[in-house]
Each structure stands twice: as C-alpha cells, then as structure tokens.
Amino acid sequence: MTEPLPAPTEPTVPVGAAPGAPGTSGTPLTSKAAEGAGRRTAPEVLAVLTTAGSAAQAEELAAGAVEARVAACAQVSAPITSYYRWEGAVQHDPEWQVLFKTAAARYEALEAYLRDAHDYDVPEIIATPVVRGSAAYLAWVTAESAPDTAL
C-alpha cells in the first residue's frame, strides 16, 4: 500500500479561478486577504519560449526583457540543434532557448519587445499558461513584470 504524499509547505493553486471567485478582479489576493477568503489564488502567469542564433543574442534578449519589465525573469539554455523548414529547404542550426516568465497581462508587451529586438525574420514566440505553481512565486512574477507605473 502506498503512503499518502505529505502536504506541500506552500499551497499550489490553479491559475485563473472561476469568475466571481476571490482574487479574480485582476489583482492577486494578499496573504491576509487570501487567508480571510480561506484559500490563496494565483495571478495568471505565462512561460514564453523563444530561440536565438547565438548565446550573445539570447543573453541580450533575456536581459533586455527583464530590464524593460516585460518579464520577471528569463533562463538561457545551453545550445540545442534545431531542424526546421525555411525557404523550401530543411535547415539545421545551433540555437539557444530563452524561457521567460511573465504576467499574462504583459504578454503583448513581451511579444512586441521580442519582435523588435530579435534578428530572426520569424522568431519563435510561444506562450504556455502556468496552470499551477507556488502562489508566492507566481505573485512575484506578476509584480516584477508589472510596468513601472503600476509600482
């Protein structure tokens, strides 16, 4: 018989609670407000992936997005080999993946930044919703990717 898993030390919660649920007005609940509501809700967060043709460009994209507050953080991965069809032929090249975390409300600003700063004609920009995670971390992502005027 399998023993039950221990309870997490920090609750994880689904992102995007049902309409009308506490904290769905677009602002995350504070700890006290969440405790009063009987649960924590998480802000809506995205993981956004792009690739770059060099380590230098990947680092530039990562640092620029965080500096511009369109992403809270970014991780640059070691080189990968990408295979793709471009201009009628199968190509393969080394690339560096950059994974950004941002508030869903900041996606358009992050995409615009990537389109402007990227040297590819058609950069890969793929957003995946974060459906569960540490409430504290998700709140941090939302706060750190907020525009300066929101602080």
Q: What is the pLDDT of residues 60-77, one digit of tens each?
A: 999 999 999 999 999 999
Q: Could you tell me the pTM of the whole model?
A: 0.72
Residue 150 has pLDDT above 70, yes or no: no
Residue 48 CA to residue 22 CA, distance in Å, equals 27
pLDDT band at 148 (very low <50, low <70, confident <90, very high): confident
Q: What is the pLDDT of residues 83-112, one digit of tens each?
A: 999 999 999 999 999 999 999 999 999 999
Residue 102 CA to residue 19 CA, distance in Å, equals 22
Residue 113 has pLDDT above 70, yes or no: yes
Give the pLDDT of residue 41.
52
Q: What is the pLDDT of residues 25-59, one digit of tens each?
A: 444 444 444 444 444 454 599 999 999 999 999 99
Give the pLDDT of residue 3.
53
Give the pLDDT of residue 39.
44
Q: Give the residue from 146, 131, 135 showing the smallest Cα distance to 28.
A: 135
Residue type, 67: E
Phi/psi-derived region of residue 35, left when phi > 0, alpha when psi is between -120 and 50, beta in every other case: alpha
